[in-house]
Amino acid sequence: MNKDRIKSLLEAMCKGAFEREETIALSLLSSLAGESIFLLGLPGVGKSMIARRLKMAFKNSTGFEYLMSRFSTPDEIFGPVSISKLKDQDTYERIIDGYLPTADVVFLDEIWKAGPAIQNSLLTVLNEKVYRNGEKEIKLPLKAVIAASNELPTEGEGLEALWDRFLIRYVVKPIKDKYKFLSLLIDSPEECTIPEELKISEEEFNDIRIGSRQIIVPHEIGELIFSIRTTLEYARENENAPVDITESDLVEPPYVSDRRWKKIMGLMRTSAFLNGRDKVDLSDALLTIHTLWDNDDQIYSVIKLVAESLAANYKRYQADIYGNIIGGERHTRPIGELLSPDGENYTFMAGDEEVFVNKQDYDSLKPGQFRYGVMTDDSKLLIQDETTGLRIRKTIDGIAINSFSYALKRSSKIRSGSIDDMMAGVKKEMKHIEEDFASLINDNIFLNSYDDYPFLHHAFDKMKKKTLKKGY
């Protein structure tokens, strides 16, 4: 699936839908990932409109909408019982044509008002995409379920299992921008029409699901997700203790099951695939802000946690920061672990060339011999760029590989240059780091622009202050 085509599809779906771009984008993404979305918002903010536009994104699709009440019956959702089959064949079977089991896109408003019988059937629908109609098990054509309400499920009413099935939870707010609001009041509404060539076919829908599973999850993304998970678990187990390194103030930390984490990763993979990438990046990880909270008291805390975790992930760029600190020389991180698989050499990357330093030579060097150089927090060495051939020798400053000297030491307390120069270098590098991250966000078609996420700005500002305070 071409990224430009998905982008054009989203633009068509969003036409005339003021401040609903992200909501529509997330609804499309959730459907293509095989997941469901819940919209929390007051009446009249456009929740049903979003569902209708999502239906238009698929070729030959059918929709089903229903406003729940405490008097709603399964007949109204899944179809009436066939009296003739009950009478003639003694078979309990519903007439499902025109009801939820035959729809591609389903919108269920005020879902928490549904009774237990409806809830139980919906669980099977959301879990397995099947409906048991009498003795038959029907595989549903279902592509998307959008549920909505102006409230969250009440604790103690047995709604937890159904609530957990909605991977994305999104708060739909009234229009904020003055001119968009006035345009809504004064102008005639723009009709949403989607060209047939932009619509997603059944075959393409299946190809997206298959292709998304092939997307690579880089190590740093796995580490990021694990750190967020660890933070949540720590906060749940130590509610009266100071919260982890992110310093986020978690209120009633949510429980996120391993199953839910797997679904979250599937969502991130789908985002990467539809953005035309072969691997997940940090912009995809921002989607987790819509997947981790259980109640509205947790929303801000989850957003803060994810933002600070994303900013902290950029510590991998400290190699460049350190390079500025020691005088502007170019440095690069080594590849692999500190010690090579054979246990006899240390492994580095010099330019595009893999370099091995004999362990015995390295271990014979004493920290007191070195005047400059640096080692990363993960105990991996930083070395200068580019060599040709390979000739290793010990020097008074460290190790020489051909004509390049690699100064090695265990701390970075001794630096060259003035403090002002070093701090200026750090500030410049930190600015570049944030700009690089912003470009990732701006390039992701399922997210708003970086400027629309003030909590990310705050997280990076906080990281900058911490970095400068430590005096790297």
18 in any annotated domain = yes
Counting residues of the chain whose pLDDT is more than 90, the rounded percentage is 46
Q: What is the pTM of this model?
A: 0.76
Count, in order, helices (H) and strands (E) of the chain. Answer: 17, 14
Q: Span 276-289, mean pLDDT?
A: 94
Q: Which is more confident, 11 or 425?
A: 11
- Specify the range with the lowest mean pLDDT, choosing from 135-144, 167-176, 262-271, 357-366: 357-366
User: How far is the C-alpha of 65 from the C-alpha of 70, rounded, in Å?
Assistant: 16
* Residue 375 confidence (pLDDT): 36
* Residue 190 confidence (pLDDT): 76
Asked if the model's pLDDT at residue 416 lies above 80, the reply is: no
- Check whether residue 240 and residue 163 sit in a common domain: no
- Check whether residue 118 and residue 23 sit in a common domain: yes
User: How far is the C-alpha of 403 from the C-alpha of 387, rounded, in Å?
Assistant: 8
* Residue 315 confidence (pLDDT): 53
- Check whether residue 172 and residue 253 sit in a common domain: no
Tell which of 143, 177, 202 closes a domain. Answer: 202
Q: Span 198-210, mean pLDDT?
A: 95
User: How far is the C-alpha of 438 from the C-alpha of 449, rounded, in Å?
Assistant: 8
Q: What is the pLDDT of residues 51-70, one digit of tens each?
A: 999 999 999 999 999 999 99
Domain that holds residue 181: 3-202
SS3 labels along 91-118: CCCECCCCCHHHCCEEEEECHHHCCHHH
Pairing of strands 383-384, 166-171: unpaired
- Check whether residue 156 and residue 34 sit in a common domain: yes
Q: Is 80 left (phi over 0), alpha (psi -120 to 50) or beta?
A: beta
- Check whether residue 309 and residue 333 sit in a common domain: no
- Overall number of domains in the chain: 3
* Residue 461 confidence (pLDDT): 84
Q: What one-character DSSP code corresponds to residue 379?
A: S
Q: Is 125 helix (H, G, I), strand (E, B) or coil?
A: helix
* Residue 40 confidence (pLDDT): 95
Q: Span 94-117, mean pLDDT?
A: 94
Per-residue confidence at 192, pLDDT binned at 50, 70, 90? Answer: confident
- Check whether residue 93 and residue 137 sit in a common domain: yes
CA proximity to 288, closest of 277, 275, 299: 299
130 in any annotated domain = yes
Pairing of strands 144-149, 105-109: parallel
- Check whether residue 186 and residue 281 sit in a common domain: no
- Check whether residue 279 and residue 388 sit in a common domain: no
- Check whether residue 453 and residue 396 sit in a common domain: no
* Residue 235 confidence (pLDDT): 78
* Residue 92 confidence (pLDDT): 86
- Check whether residue 66 and residue 138 sit in a common domain: yes
Tell which of 202, 227, 244 closes a domain. Answer: 202
- Specify the range with the lowest mean pLDDT, choosing from 22-31, 152-161, 216-225, 327-336: 327-336
- Check whether residue 109 and residue 188 sit in a common domain: yes
Amino acid at 437: F
User: How far is the C-alpha of 102 from the C-alpha of 108, rounded, in Å?
Assistant: 15
213 in any annotated domain = no
Tell which of 202, 235, 264 closes a domain. Answer: 202
Q: What one-character DSSP code corresponds to residue 401?
A: E
Asked if the model's pLDDT at residue 166 lies above 90, the reply is: yes
Q: What is the pLDDT of residues 290-304, one digit of tens each?
A: 999 998 888 988 999
Q: With residue 160 as reference, give the H or E element that holds it.
A: helix 160-164
